[in-house]
A and B are shown apart, each in its own frame.
Chain A
Amino acid sequence: SQTIHQWPATLVQPVGSPLSLECTVEGTSNPNLYWYRQAAGRGLQLLFYSVGIGQISSEVPQNLSASRPQDRQFILSSKKLLLSDSGFYLCAWKGGSNEQFFGPGTRLTVL
Chain B
Amino acid sequence: DQQVKQNSPSLSVQEGRISILNCDYTNSMFDYFLWYKKYPAEGPTFLISISSIKDKNEDGRFTVFLNKSAKHLSLHIVPSQPGDSAVYFCAARRGGSNYKLTFGKGTLLTVNP
A and B co-occur in one complex: yes
| Chain A residues engaging chain B, CB cutoff 8 angstroms | 6, 32, 34, 36, 41-46, 49, 51, 57, 59, 88, 90, 92, 94, 98-105, 107
Which residues of B have CB within 8 Å of A99?
34, 46, 49
Which residues of B have CB within 8 Å of A98?
32, 34, 49, 51, 93, 99
CA distance A46 to B103 in the complex (A): 9
Whether B103 pairs with A100 at a CB distance below 8 angstroms is no
Min CB distance, B10 to chain A, in Å?
12
The 10 closest A-B pairs by CB, nearest first: A102-B43, A43-B105, A44-B103, A43-B103, A105-B43, A99-B46, A102-B44, A104-B43, A94-B99, A103-B43
Q: How many A-B residue pairs have CB under 8 A?
A: 60
Whether B45 pairs with A102 at a CB distance below 8 angstroms is yes
Which residues of B have CB within 8 Å of A42?
105
